[in-house]
Amino acid sequence: MNVKAIMLAGIAVIVAAPAFAHHSFAMFDRTKVINITGTVREYEWTNPHVWIHINAPDEKGAMREWGFEMQAIAQDYAAGWRADSVKPGDKISIEYHPLKDGARGGQLMSADLSSGQHLGPPANPRNLTDEDRAKANATAQRRPAQ
């Protein structure tokens, strides 16, 4: 067998391995959209996924920690997030798909910061106004090539 072909196959396996190791988002209930408001506890600007942890009341009013998984840094950056978007103590409202097992947290779809800035597209596109759709389309066209 050709040595060059073996080398190329080896490189392809090495490059593709992280994609095979990546988990799915099947643990989130994408049929539900929930909003929660709380205070940032921790913000992890890291790959493979950015995480934000907040303190917010549960259904009984007790303060609890909630964890929200986001996308990779490149995708969140394109949605307006930055490493300094939030810091511990900031107020935040989060729109998310909840975990199917009922645990506190989910897949963050968008957030409203205490500054009034909205980051990320809404999880429920039916709630978009025509103006919001135009803004989202303009943002998508300006995204850098990846």
User: Is 104 inside a domain boundary?
Assistant: yes
- Domains contained in the chain, number: 1
Residue 76 is assigned to a structural domain of this protein: yes
pLDDT higher than 90, residue 108: yes
Distances (CA, A) of 1 to 6, 7, 10, 49: 8, 11, 13, 40
pLDDT at position 19 is: 45
State the CATH number of the domain containing residue 68: 2.40.50.140
Range of the domain at 78: 23-142
Q: 55 with 68: CB under 8 angstroms?
A: no
Mean pLDDT (the chain) is: 79
pLDDT at 42 over 70: yes
Over the stretch 126-144, which tens digit does the pLDDT of each residue have?
Answer: 454 566 555 544 544 443 4
With respect to residue 2, please indicate whether it lies within any of the assigned structural domains. Answer: no
In a domain, 10, yes or no: no
Amino acid letter, residue 3: V
Contact 68, 106 (CB under 8 A): yes
Residue 13 lies in a domain: no
Is residue 3 a part of any domain in this protein?
no
Residue 92 lies in a domain: yes
Q: What is the pLDDT of residue 10?
A: 52
Query: In a 10 Å sphere around its CB, with 0-12 CB exposed, 13-18 middle and 19+ buried, how is residue 4 labelled?
Result: exposed
Q: Which of 128, 123, 122 is nearest to 28 (CA)?
A: 123
Whether 125 is in a domain gets the answer yes
